Chain A
Amino acid sequence: MEAWNKIIHTAMMGTDKKMIGVEELVPTLAGAVAVITENTTIDKEEKFLQLASLTYNYRQCAVLPLKKETINIDKAPAEEKQYCSPAAMQVLKDILFEESQSLLQLWLTACAKANRLVSPEMIPSLFAIGKQYKQLRAAIAPCTGKRGEWLCQFNHEWNFSVSQSQEELWNTGTTDQRKAVITELRSVDPAAARVLLEQTWAQEDAATKVSFLEILSINVSNDDILFLESLQNEKSKKVKEEALKLLKQIPGSALVQQYIAVLQKAVTIKTEKALLGMMSKTSLSFQVPADIDPEIFKSGIEKLSSNSKEFSDDEFIIYQLIQFVPPTFWEQQLGKSPQQIIELFEKDATGKKMITALVLATLQFKQHQWAVFMMQYCSTFYIDLIPMLPAQQQEYYSNRSFADHADAIIRYAVEFKREWSIEMTKKILTHAANNPYHYTRSFFSQHIERIPSAIERELGLIIPAEEYQRNSWNKTKEYLVKLINLKNQITTTFTA
């Protein structure tokens, strides 16, 4: 309102410097303005205050709504799925109240599986959570339906919930969305993922290139060799290093073949006579060949064992090479079974030192079968191999070694893709009960997905050794029961 702006302008300057003119005020108020301005009993400050008060009241009374015929809002399309039952919505509210992402993930998965939708008023809360926790985004989108898609056009931070084609996401999405596209494609069609990447490779910056290469380690194979080798001409050192790292994971790459060639000469079986020639004794010989190709030292293999007193320089070179050669190579090279190979390494003083390199090679080349052999025949327990084992063996070895490596085993156990067995859960909870400051409520809230509901019956038997820890454990136990109940309710509300 123009007259009010003039009042403010005068007020800013002060009536000492400038007094508002009658012509600056609303003409409709001329009569009232005249009464004020012609009043000789009051000073100019009071006149100004009266004129301001008059205009203020006029402004309040003269408000009109803004009429804009062109302004509109598109209606959200009708939903194709049904909404969840009130009981399921109540469970969702309880889960949000407990702030358990693990339970939320379970609820969303159950909701999507039941082909249901959350009621519209809950969508903003779920999107806000999705914005904060990326890992939940994929699960949120199917539960928010058409209303969710419609809603996120008004808030770009919620774009993750719009169902776009993989192609659209790859061409126009954020780096995270593009990474998700590559990750998914790489799992089902590794070659197609690489081709997609090659198409835009020249336009990507170094950091993005590195993050895409990290994803290529999923299903990396001989088919990727040409592309990865071409990256050795990249300007960025980090990109080159990442490509080299991947080449070291491919048995057919020239680099790994080069290492194999060296090891074929460096590690051999020697047979010696024993017991006055009546018996022969087989052992391993470790000797770096004199004609070793100096090129291998440019690929990250160190010549000197300066940082390690455990190895001689030659042993250290061999140790590094073993890490980057698939363990199956030894079956051919030594003509023995995995069990015999492990035993040979174990009984030899130098060989024993090489066992950890074999473990690293098993992990490097994701040789699951060798992981089982290593667990079975090695005298030492290599905990890092647990994720490579089949489910049953994961549980078996975790339970067997739990007492000595409890925390480390729990670290791996939380990554299992299934519920723990009752035996394992009991062990984990007993350890947690004795370490209440390490395994707090948030640990259970995060990993309730892995805890079987049937453990509730056994909880009474889990008692911390120390008296002073009992109170704290009882509270945690109470919380755990609450989480288990919510977990059970997810199942019952979606199957009812």
Chain B
Amino acid sequence: MQFTEEQIFNLAPDESSKKSGKDLANPSKWVSKGANEQALWGECQGSGSKPYQTQIDLQNIAFKCSCPSRKFPCKHGLGLLLYNARQPNDFSTSRMPAWVEDWISKRVEKKEKQVEKEDKPVDEAARAKRTQARELKVTDGIEELQLWLKDIVRNGILTMPDKGSLWFENMAKRMVDAQAPGLAGMVRSLGEINFYAEGWQSKFMDQLAVIYLSTKAFQNTASLDETLQQDIRSWIGFTQNQEELKEQTGVTDTWLVLAKQISEVDNISTERYWLYGTASKQYALVLQFIVRGQGGQLTFTPGIFVQAELVFFPSVSPLRAIVKRQIASTMKASFSGYQNWDEVLATETTLNSQLPVRGDRPYLISKLRPVQYNQQWWLQDAEQKMMLLKNEQRYIWKLLAISGGEALDMALIGREDQYEAVGVWLHDEYKLLQ
């Protein structure tokens, strides 16, 4: 498949890789090159005596290069892909050389093995014992956290800005000790609220309610629906065994990668891929955690369509998923989404009533246009109902320039009363806004 330059740049790990990759998208840099439906390969003359062997699996986007770079993909991989995107005619369809064939066949074998792989026998008794011990620790931790919450509301939140981040961090650490990393993250985000910004009180109380609801739900977990129990356990920080998850049958569809969001904490970057299933009409969030200097397994780039089987984490409102099987990447454009804000908000209400603790979610909405009201930017639907845009300073000018005042089909990520636009459809083509 053919990538656009924008999509290729979205794969780059940093700005300097983009620049170096661009420099390498030049015929004079490649000693040899070739392509077929499965792979793209080339030998790039670097500073060493031997040229670097760069290869790209086009079916399930993956890169391999003999260069010593720790970046992933490296500049050679990006350069080769860019070169191919710009001058595809330079790449004659040919048989893969041995070093490419070797890698591609190993990848196919590995995939097959993964499917066939059987789990080692698990010591169920030991596992149950470990789980019980952890649940006990979590229960104790939750009691401590609830006392802390009560202290806060008893004394009032007026003094919270003076507490300093260490005060919150200490409680977060207590939750880590109690083996409740989910709660630790929630407590940490209390301390990360911008106390200088107007309206911090509401954000603080939102988060306080979320923490309280999570702890209380865990205490009452036995009386709740089994799937909801899974949601609650994931809030607290119990992880789901992904290998077990992969054994389940997933949803096979052609997924449009709507957006990629990256955040970094303590040298671990979290990539959030927002997907939309074109046939199933399901939305999905696939997370990838990458330790700095290491490459990730997933190389989705926003704007492409990926044929894949996704398995959703058990939830009353399934969103987070893992990729069980990636079949191919294709280019296909289609749009089918909500008709107006009323439909979106009805869905939000249903989801909130099922799951009061939840994060942002993507929505495809048809015919929205940006309008200005009270010096803020809103998105107005065909019925002249509007919703506030979030983080609009990052993309509003591009959105306006593309729209020219016309209504566009859009992809948004958000919840409650604020949504961030991530892409639009223009002449049946999905265009990223950021």
Residues of A within 8 A of B (CB): 4, 7-8, 11-17, 43, 45-46, 48-50, 52-53, 56-57, 59-69, 71-76, 90, 93-94, 97, 120-124, 127, 147, 150-151, 154-155, 478, 482
Contact = CB atoms under 8 A, between A and B. Distances in A.
A64 B356 contact: no
Interface string B124-166: 0000000000000000000000100111011111100000000
A76 B416 contact: no
A61 B352 contact: yes
Contacts of A49: 149-150, 153, 208-209, 212
Contacts of B18: 97
A240 B151 CA distance: 74
B319 to A, nearest CB: 16
Given A76-B404, A90-B5, A151 B154 contact: no
A68 B372 CA distance: 11
Contact of B398 (A74, A75, A121, A147): A121
Contact of A150 (B204, B349, B371, B404): B404
A66 B345 contact: no
Contact of B404 (A61, A64, A68, A75): A75
Nearest to B28: A481
Contacts of A74: 405
A377 B386 CA distance: 78
Which 3 A-B residue pairs are closest in the complex by CB-CB distance? A14-B156, A76-B404, A124-B397
13 contacts: A4-B205, A8-B201, A45-B149, A49-B153, A52-B205, A63-B416, A65-B381, A67-B385, A71-B386, A123-B401, A124-B400, A154-B400, A482-B23
Nearest to B9: A97
Given A12-B156, A63-B417, A69 B384 contact: yes
A14 B386 contact: no
A361 B150 CA distance: 87
Contact of A16 (B154, B352, B431): B154
A124 B398 contact: yes
Contacts of B378: 66, 71
Interface string B347-370: 011001100100000000000011
A76 B405 contact: yes
Contact of A11 (B23, B153, B370): B153
Nearest to A7: B205
B150 A151 contact: no
A127 to B, nearest CB: 8
Given A14-B153, A17-B156, A56-B209, A68 B400 contact: no
B158 A75 contact: no
B356 A60 contact: yes
A39 to B, nearest CB: 13
A45 B154 contact: yes
A65 B86 CA distance: 45
B345 A63 contact: yes
Contacts of A155: 397
A402 B292 CA distance: 52
Contacts of A73: 369-372, 380, 405
Q: Which of B210, B212, B342, B369 has the most CB of A within 10 A?
A: B212
Interface of B: 5, 18-19, 22-23, 86, 146, 149-151, 153-158, 201-202, 204-206, 208-210, 212-213, 216, 341-342, 345, 348-349, 352-353, 356, 369-373, 378, 380-381, 383-387, 397-398, 400-402, 404-406, 415-417, 431
Given A57-B356, A60-B356, A65 B345 contact: yes
A50 B220 CA distance: 14
Given A124-B401, A155-B397, A65 B155 contact: no
B155 A14 contact: yes
B153 A60 contact: no
Contacts of A63: 345, 348-349, 416-417
Contacts of A64: 345
A316 B188 CA distance: 78
A53 B398 CA distance: 38
Given A56-B209, A147-B401, A71 B154 contact: no
B181 to A, nearest CB: 22
Contacts of A97: 18-19, 22
A150 B400 CA distance: 10
A48 B157 CA distance: 13
Nearest to B400: A151
Nearest to B155: A14
Nearest to A55: B209
Contacts of A11: 153, 156-157, 201, 204-205, 208
Given A63-B417, A68-B373, A71-B373, 6 more contacts: A45-B151, A53-B213, A63-B349, A65-B387, A71-B380, A97-B18
Contacts of B149: 45, 49
A127 B155 CA distance: 51
Contacts of B381: 65
Nearest to A93: B5
Instruction: Count chain A CB atoms within 10 A of each CB in B155, B371, B401, B417 and give the residue with the most.
Output: B401
Contacts of B384: 67-69, 71
Contacts of B369: 73
Contacts of B348: 60-61, 63
Nearest to B348: A63
A446 to B, nearest CB: 18
Contacts of B209: 49, 52-53, 56-57
Contacts of B400: 124, 151, 154
A74 B216 CA distance: 51
Given A63-B345, A90-B5, A124-B397, A13 B404 contact: no
